[in-house]
Amino acid sequence: MTPSIAATTLLSLVTLSAFHPASAKCVPPKEAHFNWDDVEYLIAFGDSYTFVQGTYGYPNYSFIGNYLPGELSFTPTELLSNRIVQNFTGTAEGGPNWVEYLTGCGVEPGEHLPSDCAIQLWDFAFAGADVSEEFLPLHHNFTTPLVNQTAQYLKWAEPVLGPRIEGRGTNKKAEAALVAVWIGINDVNDSQSKKPANITFQDFWQAEIEAVFSESVLPLFGAGYRNFLFVNLPPLDRTAANQVKSNPSPSKEQVGWWNEILANRAREFAETNQGAKAMVYDANTFLNGVMNRPEQYGITNLTYCPDYAQLEVLTKPEEYGCRPLDEYFWYNSGHMSSHTHKIMVPNLIEFLEAQST
């Protein structure tokens, strides 16, 4: 008896709100709605490709907090006064990265409050992160894995930022916020030596990407976020080291496996969660295109300057036998140059505009 009474009550409520103009406003939109022009907040998660230095962050690794016991948390005041640092060590590529170029937040040298930016960048990516400790060991005991970055966000940042986003003009959280996730770079590399032997790469990465959606994306969806941008793997099969190997590690095929699993899982997420928009930006195709025709992008060298870590190399590259760092595709063994991040962004914006309705 009880279930049918509950069902009847629910049905009448749904019917009522569907025909009642005042309460209709409260019904979440059934169709996904995304428009890049409406985005005022970029909430980012991932690894070193996405990390930005914060004044409350772990030096060289994060915007705020770290994975050591008790250090994931922060106060509202710490969050709102935390500044993005743009300097030689402010990112993993010696200059602005893709989320900074995409938002225009923190591009100039110095310190920047996210709340001063036209598109606010709230970045919980942690350099060296994998998806979860469940699959691969931490790079360091302070490394916050992706599933814990989103939990950190939901526990300590969402209560502060959520109401601010809801309160901005007529935009709802669902429209004004875009969640960005770029993960898998460390996972695919670490898997080469640390994956359990009794599982295939495909099954291992399927399980990892399942965890991305069940432990990170769905909880964010539950908190009201609707628009999600996923970035697939860059050409890790074409790092400087891999260019001279007959068997690159990871291989092009492996990079393709991760990217295919990601694309399928993102599609399934959007199909099974009404109102969700899951966009997968194909960084891999764009960046392979850059590597195939580097001269079109001002790139003269597809490896990197060995002395990239010297501060002076930025201003006097010739003293280190290098070209200006902006002429290199890679910054070092695993990271793309800041210039490569920069040239990807117009292509990404084109993609986001094509996804807009």
Ligand X SMILES: *[C@@H]1O[C@H](CO)[C@@H](O)[C@H](O)[C@H]1NC(C)=O
When binding is defined by CB under 6 A, the residue of 115, 171, 301, 355 that contacts ligand X is 301
- Closest contact distance (angstroms) between CB of 203 and ligand X is 8
**Residue facing ligand X at closest CB distance:** 334
Residue selected from 3, 30, 196, 354 as contacting ligand X according to rule CB under 6 A:
196
Angle at 79 between CA 94 and CA 187, to 5 degrees: 50
Q: Which stretch binds ligand X (CB under 6 A): 32-40, 116-124, 166-174, 300-308?
A: 300-308
Sole window of 28-36, 114-122, 193-201, 251-259 interacting with ligand X (rule: CB under 6 A): 193-201
| SS3 labels along the chain | CHHHHHHHHHHHHHHHHHHCHHHHCCCCCCCCCCCHHHCCEEEEEECCCCCCEECEECCCCECEECCCCCCCCCCHHHHHHCCEEECCCCCCCCCCCHHHHHHCCCCCCEEECHHHCCCEEEECCECCCCCCCCCCCCCCCCCCCHHHHHHHHHHHHHHHHHHHHHCCCCCCHHHHEEEEEECCHHHHHHHHHHCCCCCCHHHHHHHHHHHHHHHHHHHHHHCCCCEEEEECCCCHHHCHHHHCCCCCCCCHHHHHHHHHHHHHHHHHHHHHCCCCEEEEECHHHHHHHHHHCHHHHCCCECCCCCCCCCHHHHCCHHHHCCCCHHHECECCCCCECHHHHHHHHHHHHHHHHHCCC
Residue (39 or 305) nearer to ligand X, CB? 305
CA distance 329 to 340: 6
Among 279, 305, 344, 352, binds ligand X (CB under 6 A): 305
Please report whether residue 88 would count as binding ligand X according to CB under 6 A: yes
253 by Cβ neighbours in 10 Å (0-12 / 13-18 / 19+) ranks as exposed
Q: Is 322 in the site for ligand X (CB under 6 A)?
A: yes
Nearer to ligand X, 47 or 175 (CB): 47
348 binds ligand X, rule: CB under 6 A: no
The nearest distance, CB 303 to ligand X, in angstroms, is: 5
Closer CB to ligand X, 11 or 68, in the complex: 68
Residue 215 interacts with ligand X (CB under 6 A): yes or no: yes
Q: Smallest distance, Å, CB 314 to ligand X?
A: 10
Site membership for ligand X, residue 68 (CB under 6 A): yes
**Minimum distance of ligand X from residue 270's CB (angstroms):** 23
The answer to the question of residue 73 lying near ligand X (CB under 6 A) is no
Q: CB of 198: closest distance to ligand X in angstroms?
A: 4
Between 117 and 145, name the residue whose CB sits nearer to ligand X. Answer: 145
Nearer to ligand X, 146 or 177 (CB): 146
Of 17, 189, 288, 355, the one binding ligand X (CB under 6 A) is 189
Q: Annotate each residue in 3-42 with x if it binds ligand X (CB under 6 A) or - if it does not, as one string.
A: ----------------------------------------
60 touches ligand X (CB under 6 A): yes
The count of residues interacting with ligand X (CB under 6 A) is 30
Residue 70 binding ligand X, by CB under 6 A: no
Whether the CA torsion 242, 246, 252, 257 is positive or negative: it is: negative
Would you count residue 227 as binding ligand X (CB under 6 A)? Answer: no
Beta strand 84-86 pairing with 110-112: antiparallel
109: tokens are 């040298």
Q: Does 141 bind ligand X (CB under 6 A)?
A: yes
- Name 49's Cβ contacts closer than 8 Å, sequence gap at least 6: 92, 97, 98, 125, 182, 185, 234, 335, 336
Does position 198 interact with ligand X (CB under 6 A)? The reply is yes
The residues binding ligand X (CB under 6 A) are 59-60, 68-69, 85, 87-90, 132, 141, 147-148, 151, 189, 193, 196, 198-199, 215, 239, 301, 303, 305-306, 309, 311, 322, 333-334
